[in-house]
Amino acid sequence: MEKNKKIIITADGSHTILLPGQRESYHSRKGALTESEHVFIRMGWDHLLHRGTYRRPLHVFEMGFGTGLNALLTLRSALAARIPVHYTTVEAFPLENDYIEALNYGNLSGGGLRQYFRDLHSAGWNMETEIIPAAGFVIQKLAVTLEKFTTDNTFDLIYYDAFSPRVQPGLWTQDIFDKMYNLTNPGGILVTYSAKGSVRRAMIRAGFTVERLPGPPGKREMLRAVRNR
């Protein structure tokens, strides 16, 4: 992954990381926080809780740990809902500490999430770490590509947050969504910011029931896929 990264301020005041050489950013420039809250929390986490089709602890899988924003928002949501969570994420290109320390996500909720943000990033790779033992929030960060990721676990909720099909086409193939389907529990869901037609068709062929949903600012649509059986 490109080394010449740059932290920029998005439209809602939250940071993201720009890869100038690839014309790609980790989050939407229209609002990093707004995008993550809409795609992964509102359309993912909140929808799953409304359906009630999850275990305790609730098992979450994230493709692309990146800045840790999705994990932080999930931790905040888990605390509010008092639901224990086991959070598994893969990241082939972990961020360097200088970038992590410069991100302003710890200022969310009046700064009340600052220590949790640090704890998520300081958690060791390739091992399980209890971030909040009393609340049952456990994270497992794996420094591996999605293609090489294997597990005996299945998941109630999948955040599919890879770089765009233009930048990482190999992460948006039929084989990948077949794999995602097999990782999803019956009743579980997968959400992604992408609404590309080829992605939707691959999800349907894998066995998901797929919805087009309103996207975050700057995106007309996003996708939510449900494994019904």
CATH number of the domain to which 202 belongs: 3.40.50.150
Domain that holds residue 188: 29-226
Long-range residue pairs from 116-123, CB within 8 A, at least 24 positions apart, any chain:
116/72, 116/75, 116/76, 117/68, 117/72, 120/68, 120/71, 120/72, 120/75, 121/68, 121/95, 121/97
59, with CB counted inside 10 A (0-12, 13-18, 19+), is buried
Rounded Cα distance, 188 and 227, in Å = 6
Q: Is 21 within a domain?
A: no
Count of domains in the chain?
A: 1
Per the DSSP assignment, residues forming a β-bridge with 128 are 140
Rounded Cα distance, 108 and 157, in Å = 23
Q: Is 100 within a domain?
A: yes
pLDDT value at residue 134? 85
Q: Is 133 within a domain?
A: yes
User: Amino acid identity of 193?
Assistant: Y
Residues of the chain whose pLDDT is less than 70? 1-2
Per the DSSP assignment, residues forming a β-bridge with 224 are 191, 211
Query: Scanning the structure block, which residue is given the tokens 């993201």?
Result: 16
Q: Is 46 within a domain?
A: yes
Q: Is 3 within a domain?
A: no
pTM for this entry: 0.96
pLDDT value at residue 1? 59
In sequence order, which residues have a C-beta less than 8 Å from that of residue 81 and are 6 or more positions away? 49
Q: Is 79 within a domain?
A: yes
For residue 75, which of 62, 63, 64, 92 has the smallest C-alpha distance? 62
